[in-house]
Structures are given as structure tokens and as C-alpha cells.
Amino acid sequence: MMELFLSAFVTLFVVIDPPGCAPIFYGLTTGADAQQRRRMAIRAVLIATLILLGFAIVGEDLLRTLGIGLEAFRIAGGIMLFFIAMDMVFEKRTQRREDRAQKIKETPEIEDVSVFPMAMPMIAGPGSIATVMLLMARAHGAEESAIVLAALGVNLALMLIALLAVAPIMRLFGNQVEAVITRLLGVILAALAVQFVLDGLEGSIL
């Protein structure tokens, strides 16, 4: 069970990416005081949690309603995660996040960034939604499903901690260390994405 937890935790950590979201949140909330930033961080993680839990619980039923097989979803999700991994390795994902954050920052009428873009699509984006559905599809029984949900909960807790402590984190690590970590996590995600595709192909053949 610990192996399942670690696998789910690492996969979700790489996709949800708390170290990558924290600097973006910091940049979006530079004009906010500590109390406003804290409220937005809590609200963003809470909304993202509700979105991801919803897809984790009813995602498989939704696929069944749409006539999509789990193996097809595994393959499609694995391909999607592989492209995310490539973006991380070559830092394109970070650049897109920064561009999106800059556009929001330049729009004066938008003050609360907790719902958009933080909760969705930065935390509960297509990659994290697909990942949590894939992990729940691979889980067998209530116990394994609970383990996957626990891994999701730990990641979202880490996201909240990262957003709340973003100012000292930025001073401690800096941009260069963040870039190294992002690329390393991208390589790990690429391997996990390939495994998802192989699982889907194996399941469809058998």
C-alpha cells in the first residue's frame, strides 16, 4: 500500500506542481497584504480540492456515460501528461504560466485570483484532472481508492503550505533552483506518462 501511495503522491506532485505554482501566486498577489494573500490561497486550494475530488469520485461514471473506455482514457491521459512533461523539461510550461499570470495582473478590475487562474487551471487543470481520474481508475477497491485520495490530500496540503509561505520560499530558493527542480520532475513525469500508455495498451490487448 505504501508503494501505491508513493506512486500516486509523486505523480500528483509533479502534475499539480506546488513549487511551480507558488511563484506565480506570489507574482499575482504582489499588491495584496498578508491577510488578503492568505484568504486567496485558502480559497484557491479549497476550490481546486472540490474540483479534483468531484472528478476523482464521478470521473469513471462520466467516462462510462460518454462511452469512453478506461484503457482509451489511460492512453490519452498518458499522452497528455507526456507533453506536459516535455514542457516542464524545456521550461515552456513555466513560461505559459508566467504569461497567463502577467495578463491577469495587467487587468485592473480583477483583484481576487483565487478562482481564476489559481484554482483552475493552475491547480485543478486538465493535467491534474486527467491524472486523478487515471489513478482512481487503476485503484482496486475502497482501500486503494482511499490511498489515492490521501495522496491527493497531501499534495493539496503542500500546495496550501507553499502558497502561504511563498514569500520566504522565493527568498530561500530563487529562480535557478526552481528551474532545476522543474526539469527533474519533468523527467519523472515523462516516465510515468509512458507507463500510463503502456498500461492502457496492455489492457486493451488483453
Q: Model confidence over 51-72: pLDDT tens digits?
A: 999 999 998 788 788 888 777 8
Q: Which residue has the higher pLDDT, 188 or 97?
A: 188
Give the pLDDT of residue 80.
78
Position 155 scores a pLDDT of: 97
Check pLDDT > 60 for residue 50.
Answer: yes
The reported pLDDT for the residue numbered 110 is: 44
Within a domain: residue 206? no
Domain contains 21: yes
Q: Tell me, yes or no, whether 126 lies in a domain.
A: yes
Indicate if the pLDDT at residue 45 is higher than 90. Answer: yes
Is residue 65 a part of any domain in this protein? yes
Record the pTM: 0.72
For the segment 94-111, the average pLDDT, to the nearest whole number, is 60
Q: Which domain holds residue 115?
A: 2-201
Q: What pLDDT is stored for residue 186 in this prediction? A: 74
Residue 80 lies in a domain: yes
Band of pLDDT at residue 100, cut at 50, 70 and 90: low
pLDDT in tens, 12-21: 998 898 987 8
- Report the pLDDT averaged over residues 92-120: 68
3-state SS of the chain is: CHHHHHHHHHHHHHHHCHHHHHHHHHHHCCCCCHHHHHHHHHHHHHHHHHHHHHHHHHHHHHHHHHCCCHHHHHHHHHHHHHHHHHHHHCCHHHHHHHHHHHHHHCCCCCCCCHHHHHHHHHHCCHHHHHHHHHHHHHCCHHHHHHHHHHHHHHHHHHHHHHHHCHHHHHHHHHHHHHHHHHHHHHHHHHHHHHHHHHHHHHHHHC
- pLDDT the model gives residue 205: 80
Domain count, the chain: 1
Confidence (pLDDT) at 96: 64
- What's the rounded mean pLDDT across residues 63-85? 79
Is 10 contained in some domain? yes
